[in-house]
Amino acid sequence: RPPARGFQCAARGCRAHRSAGGALVANVLRNGSVLLQWGLRHWGPPPRPAASLRGFALNCSWDGTYTRFPCDSVELGAACRDYLLAEAHGSVRYRLCLQPRYAPPRPAPPAQCVEFRVEPAAMRDIVVAMTAVGGSICVMLVFICLLVAYITENLMSPALARGG
């Protein structure tokens, strides 16, 4: 996947959640995916040369319980500035923490964490599907009622007329 440089969260299809330090942003998209973006300037002044940055560690949890899912303990390269979590579960509270890794002896700065909840897209799809099925059932019932009325009018009436 090519990096999403300059991605801006549009109000209709996305909600942006920023970490307390401002370094990490979780762009929660309507399709259930989450685009994480970060920058180093929010972690404070860089060490001597920027070359001492070895990469990033991304840790995830949901609902406060440590759970394994695709982005659990991911190691990212030093040039990486975004990460796409393709399939996040709806109605689950996520906590994602990102920490830069520097070469010794420099200690790692504290992790930047962001919390968010993904909108349950599947529930919206179920409501649409149920509405479509309900509408189809109503149309079928109308046709059945019309058929019963037609049969009653055309097949029963002549039999009664002949008998009289």
**For 135-150, how does the pLDDT look when each residue is reduced to its tens digit (9 = 90+)?**
888 889 999 999 998 8
Are residues 21 and 37 part of one domain? yes
Among 61, 105, 69, smallest CA distance to 86 is for 69
Are residues 147 and 113 part of one domain? no
Question: Once rounded to an integer, what is the mean pLDDT over residues 26-41?
Answer: 85
Q: Quick check: is 8 in a domain?
A: no
Are residues 134 and 105 part of one domain? no
DSSP secondary structure letters along the chain: ----TT----TTTEEEEE-TTSSEEEEEETTS-EEEEE-GGGG-S--SSGGGEEEEEEEEEETTB----TTTTEEE-TT--EEEE--PPTT-EEEEEEEEEE-TTSPPPPPEEEEEE---HHHHHHHHHHHHHHHHHHHHHHHHHHHHHHHIIIIIHHHHHHH-
Q: CB of 25 within 8 A of CB of 36?
A: yes
**Domain boundaries, position 109:** 14-119
Per-residue confidence (pLDDT) for residue 50, from 0 to 100: 55
Is the C-alpha dihedral spanning 126, 129, 131, 136 positive or negative? Answer: negative
Q: Quick check: is 97 in a domain?
A: yes
Are residues 153 and 109 part of one domain? no
Question: Once rounded to an integer, what is the mean pLDDT over residues 21-33?
Answer: 87
CATH number at residue 84: 2.60.40.10
Going edge to edge, which strands form the sheet with 82-85? Answer: 14-18, 24-29, 34-38, 82-85
Q: Quick check: is 2 in a domain?
A: no
d(CA 73, CA 2): 22
Are residues 151 and 113 part of one domain? no
Q: CB of 113 within 8 A of CB of 96?
A: yes
pLDDT at position 121 over 90: no
Are residues 49 and 130 part of one domain? no
Are residues 136 and 76 part of one domain? no
Per-residue confidence (pLDDT) for residue 144, from 0 to 100: 92
The pTM score is 0.63
Question: Once rounded to an integer, what is the mean pLDDT over residues 17-29?
Answer: 89
Q: Quick check: is 103 in a domain?
A: yes
pLDDT at position 64 over 80: no
Are residues 125 and 61 part of one domain? no
pLDDT at position 120 over 60: yes
Per-residue confidence (pLDDT) for residue 142, from 0 to 100: 92
Number of folded domains in the chain? 2
Are residues 137 and 113 part of one domain? no
